[in-house]
Amino acid sequence: MSSMMTASYRSRRDHFEPSDNDPHEQRRLRGHLEQIDYTAFVSNREVIPQVLGLGTNHTEPAAFQRLAVAAATARARWIAEALKLTEGGVAITAQDAQRLAGMRAAYDELSEAYEGLRRMVERGYLPYRGTER
């Protein structure tokens, strides 16, 4: 069985595992790596809300809905165009294929933006205020 990796999947790189057998050196190195990871976390938590224009505000469910609707619309337009182009049962032109590729790219980018926003909330970079049940 084969598998395919898509652009929407981000693999987590394996963390460095020291080859030094000295446990004190390994602990010291792990401590440094934790500091590095924490620095990246704090940097993301400070920068991302500012760049998104949120300041100290929370990410709202409406932001996710807007991205989800935009991605769904782009996907539907891409597929609708492909279906329309193939109605006649003839091969599509290079120009048609290029237009379809652009439509697919728009869908892919919007999907990635949605996933990126979700990851920002999941990782604690953005505060989120959901609707309470």
List pLDDT tens digits, range 18-53. Answer: 566 788 888 999 999 999 999 999 999 999 999 988
Calpha distance 108→116 (Å, rounded) = 12
Both tokens assigned to 128: 């989120």
41-95 per-position pLDDT tens digit: 999 999 999 998 887 678 889 889 999 999 999 999 999 999 999 999 889 999 9
Query: Which secondary-structure segment (H or E) carries 25?
Result: helix 23-51
Average pLDDT rounded to a whole number, residues 8-23: 62
Q: Who's near 119: CB < 8 A, 6+ residues apart?
A: 10
Both tokens assigned to 31: 């401590």
Measured distance between the N- and C-terminal CA atoms of the chain, rounded to whole angstroms: 43
* For residue 17, pLDDT beyond 80: no
Report pTM.
0.73
